[in-house]
Structure 1
Amino acid sequence: MTASKNLNVAFIGLGQMGLALATNLLKAGYPLTVYNRTASKAADLVAQGARLAASPAEAARHADVVFTMVTDDAALTDLTTGPEGLLHGLPKGAIHVSCSTVAPDTNRQLAEAHAKHGTTLVAAPVFGKPDAAAAAKLWIATSGPAAAKSTSAPLLTVLGQGTHDFGDEVGAANVVKLCGNFMLGAAIEAMAEAFTLAQKSGLGREQVYDFFTSTIFAAPVYKSYGKLIATEHYQPVGAAPAIIRKDLKLVLREAQEHLVPMPFANIVFDQLSATVALNKPDVDWASFAERVSENAGLGKR
């Protein structure tokens, strides 16, 4: 199989991230078949020339490479190996590029199912919000068989600003993704605590944010998430609190399996749990920073 625009591509899962990724593949000139449980979400892609499939199996039937981007492990497993899963249609020798944030073991198990079927799975979780996905500015971690990664590499180039490979072990990229989401959560908690201390000491949150993000913390994460925390304005929604709470649960499960104490991860998980319990789905997951202000006796401005 050669890597070229002659590759037939399928994309399954058209949430905010999936829709942006699929759109960029279509704009790059790849023949694209799409599937989403709510078919109406594919309307714009169909209008641009994509073909809409009635099931994951149908979407994968003529694909050289099929991408998946779904919410959780159960959804990924079902659309891969379920009664109408993509494995029932994917041709021998084809590649499944799994972009979802899932447990490393989930992609390992699915890779075994692919091997029995004569197909291959490449893990390719991404870092970045939907606006970064739309602008093809994601950072992508990959792991899996070298030949499959080589074939899918031109497609990934269309989706992001950089791809970093973590070897042949297919679960490795998912470990990186979980570590990254934990580090984001820890940074959000740290900024929330720091800005709240500054506020209660009589300083402006945004003044402190401006200083740090132009000096010793001049990094994209501190600038982007820090702005939300400094202004206490948590729209637009990059990812809902419930979704990232699921990710932190995976982090803690992995930590338990490998006997790694992660007290900060537990703090972030508890903050997200409290945020989800408040039932505010229209705020970004960084809004768990509000729990720090509330605990310090400050209400939202």
Structure 2
Amino acid sequence: MNVGLIGLGLMGHGMAESLLRGGHELTVYNRTASKADALVAKGARLAKTPADACRGDVVITMVADDGALEEVTFGAHGILENLSAGAVHVSASTISVALADRLTEEHSKAGKHFVSAPVFGRPQVAAAGQLNILVAGAAEPVKRVMPVLESMGQKVWPFGDRPSAANLVKLSGNFMIFAAVEALAESIALLRKGGVDEHAFVDLMTNTLFAAPIYKGYAPLITKQQYQPPGFAAPLGLKDVRLALTAGESLKVPLPLGSLVRDKFLALLARGGEGDDIAALGKIAAEQAGM
């Protein structure tokens, strides 16, 4: 298929590699054009504006936050005005439920198609085409974009015909990730201060009671204090937990663990952790334990 991809951060770049490997004709746009150099060398076409990436069958957006997505969608040379007739805008970004609902409404008013397809997976997983992709939207456009989604993911998980449902699932999943990382951080700090081998503890837990990818992936980063380069940057973690809390407030669902994790992220950023992975919650737990 003829695919446009807007946003070449760590995740977007990996997704672009998977699309090229899947045989799709790819056009890419990024505000810093030099980030596309390696992809252009592999056969991608470089777009000068977001509009230039909207000429094909599908345009995928993978940008940092609500503001960035609003800019490329509604701004000058934006997606909504320039999306080809019959084409589908697929948002893979982690955005608010409210913005997903607005995008759905505005695309519908303009006679355009909008699908939400946020993803689970770190950058190396994206580059390997092994993401887990959540998808929600009207049946026909979802069916049309499935070959593209399947090129980027090991499995596509459907969540109905309301696009924002996929975004609420994504925020709920990220909230669980942060809670798990915080639990690891506190447990490892407790063991470290108690003089117990934290590596042996991690080996035990990740091969028995908590043999899950999140624990297996983040526990070694915390025990090794390996917080850079980030696969999931701490500022994005703060952004996502705030979005989860906003969704909870809107639906009148208390998320007390979410409030705790938000404050831990704020403490991390206050200590200069903007360039750290979310695993650096381990650093905060250790500091609060006096280590």
Q: TM-score range by the shorter chain?
A: over 0.9
1:89 lines up with 2:82 in the alignment: yes
Query: What amino acid does structure 1 have at the position aligned with 2:247?
Result: E
Displacement after TM superposition at 1:214 (Å): 0.9
Q: Which of 167, 182, 185 does residue 189 from structure 1 map onto?
A: 182
Q: Is the 8 Å Cα contact of residues 189 and 282 (structure 2) preserved in structure 1?
A: no
**Cα distance per residue 1:228-258 (max 9 Å; x no partner):** 1222222331021111101111011111111
Q: Which of 22, 26, 31 does residue 25 from structure 2 map onto?
A: 31
Alignment of 1:133-212 (within 5 A): 133-212=126-205
* Matching residue of 2:228: 235
Displacement after TM superposition at 1:200 (Å): 2.2
User: Which range moved further: 272-281 or 186-195?
Assistant: 272-281
Equivalent residue of 1:32, what SS?
Answer: strand
Alignment of 1:1-301 (within 5 A): 7-60=1-54, 62-298=55-291
Query: What amino acid does structure 1 have at the position aligned with 2:222?
Result: I
Q: Which has the higher contact order (CA 8 A, sep 6+)?
A: 2
Q: Percent identity, aligned pairs only? A: 46
Query: What amino acid does structure 2 have at the position aligned with 1:17?
Result: M
Question: Runs of 5+ in structure 2 lacking a partner?
Answer: none
* Matching residue of 1:3: none
Q: Is the 8 Å Cα contact of residues 58 and 86 (structure 1) preserved in structure 2?
A: no
Measured in 2, the distance between the counterparts of 1:172 and 1:281 equals: 30
Query: What amino acid does structure 1 have at the position aligned with 2:15?
Result: L
**Cα distance per residue 1:199-225 (max 9 Å; x no partner):** 222211111101111111111111001
Displacement after TM superposition at 1:88 (Å): 2.1
CA RMSD of aligned residues (A): 1.1
Equivalent residue of 2:274, what SS?
Answer: coil
Question: Runs of 5+ in structure 1 lacking a partner?
Answer: 1-6
Query: What amino acid does structure 1 have at the position aligned with 2:3?
Result: V
**Cα distance per residue 1:277-300 (max 9 Å; x no partner):** 1223332122022111111111xx
**Cα distance per residue 1:118-171 (max 9 Å; x no partner):** 211110000111011111111111111111111111111111111111100110
Measured in 1, the distance between the counterparts of 2:250 and 2:74 equals: 25
Measured in 2, the distance between the counterparts of 1:89 and 1:260 equals: 38
Equivalent residue of 1:193, what SS?
Answer: helix
Q: Is the 8 Å Cα contact of residues 92 and 117 (structure 1) preserved in structure 2?
A: no
Query: What amino acid does structure 1 have at the position aligned with 2:169?
Result: V
* Runs of 4+ deviating beyond 6 Å: none
Q: Is the 8 Å Cα contact of residues 96 and 122 (structure 1) preserved in structure 2?
A: yes
Query: What amino acid does structure 2 have at the position aligned with 1:126?
Result: V
Q: Is the 8 Å Cα contact of residues 9 and 65 (structure 1) preserved in structure 2?
A: yes
Equivalent residue of 1:67, what SS?
Answer: strand
Q: Is the 8 Å Cα contact of residues 29 and 49 (structure 2) preserved in structure 1?
A: yes
